A and B are shown apart, each in its own frame.
Chain A
Amino acid sequence: MNLLTHTPALIIAIPLLAAFLIPFIGRINKKTTGIFTTFALGISLILTILLTVKILSVGPQVFVFGAKSPALTLPSGLKFPIRIMFQIDAMSIFMGLITAVISFVGAIYSLTFMEQHSGLDKYYSLLLLLTVGIFGMEFTGDIFNFFVFLEIASIAAVALISFRGVNLGEPAEAGFKYMVVSSIAALIVLFVAGIFYGQYDLLNFAALASVIKYSQLDKIALGLLVPVLAMKAGAVPMHMWTPDAYSEAPAPITIILVAASQASLYALFRVTFSLYNITLNTLAVGWIIIIFGLLSMFIGVTMAIIQRDIKRLIAYNAISQTGYMFLGVGVGLAVLANPVALSKYGITAMEGGIFHIINHAMYEGLLFLTAGALFFRTGTRDLDKMGGLAHSMKYTTIFFIIGAAAISGLPPFNGFASKLLIYESVYRFNPLLSIIAMLVSILTLASFVKVFHSAFLGPKLPKFKEVREVPRSMVWAMVVLSCITIFFGLFPDLIVKNLVHPAVMALIEQFKYTGTVLGGI
Chain B
Amino acid sequence: MIDNFPYIAVIIFIGLGIYTLMFKKNLIKIAIGIVLIENGANLFLITLGYRKGAVAPIYTHAPFEQSMVLPTPQALTLTSIVIGIATTALILSVAMMIYKHYGTLDVDKVRRLRG
Contacts and interface: CB of A to CB of B under 8 A. Distances in A.
Interface residues of B, number: 31
B110 interface: yes
Contact of A190 (B45, B90, B94, B113): B45
B95 A183 contact: no
B103 to A, nearest CB: 9
Contacts of B30: 180
Contact of B48 (A144, A179, A197): A197
A175 B94 contact: yes
A320 B115 CA distance: 16
Interface in B76-115: 76, 79-80, 83, 86-87, 90-91, 94-95, 97-98, 101-102, 110, 112-113, 115
Nearest to B30: A180
Among A148, A248, A307, chain B packs the most CB atoms within 10 A around the CB of: A148
A159 B34 contact: no
A172 B41 contact: no
B69 interface: no
A191 B94 contact: no
A123 B44 CA distance: 36
A245 to B, nearest CB: 9
B73 interface: yes
B88 to A, nearest CB: 9
Interface in B48-94: 48, 72-73, 76, 79-80, 83, 86-87, 90-91, 94
B37 A173 contact: no
A180 B112 contact: no
A20 to B, nearest CB: 15
A190 B98 contact: no
User: Could you say which of A173, A243, A244 has the most chain B C-beta atoms within 10 Å of its C-beta?
Assistant: A173
Contact of B94 (A162, A184, A193, A198): A162
A148 B112 CA distance: 32
Given A162-B97, A173-B98, A187-B41, A248 B113 contact: yes
A512 B5 CA distance: 42
A7 B93 CA distance: 37
A165 B76 contact: no
B72 A172 contact: no
Nearest to A175: B94
Q: Which of B21, B112, B113 has the most CB of A within 10 A?
A: B113
A78 interface: no
A170 interface: yes
Task: Specify the main secondary structure of chain B where it touches its partner.
Answer: helix
Contacts of A197: 45, 48, 72-73, 76
B30 to A, nearest CB: 6
B94 A179 contact: yes
Which of B34, B79, B98, B110 has its CB near the most chain A CB atoms (within 10 A)? B98
Contacts of A95: none
B80 A179 contact: no
B98 A169 contact: yes
Contacts of A159: 90
Interface in A164-208: 165-166, 168-170, 172-177, 179-180, 183-184, 187, 190-191, 193-194, 197-198, 203
Nearest to A174: B113
Nearest to A199: B48
19 contacts: A144-B79, A151-B83, A162-B94, A165-B97, A165-B101, A170-B112, A172-B97, A172-B101, A173-B113, A176-B27, A176-B91, A176-B98, A176-B110, A179-B90, A183-B34, A183-B87, A190-B80, A194-B45, A197-B76
Given A162-B97, A180-B91, 8 more contacts: A151-B83, A155-B90, A159-B90, A170-B113, A179-B90, A183-B34, A187-B38, A197-B72
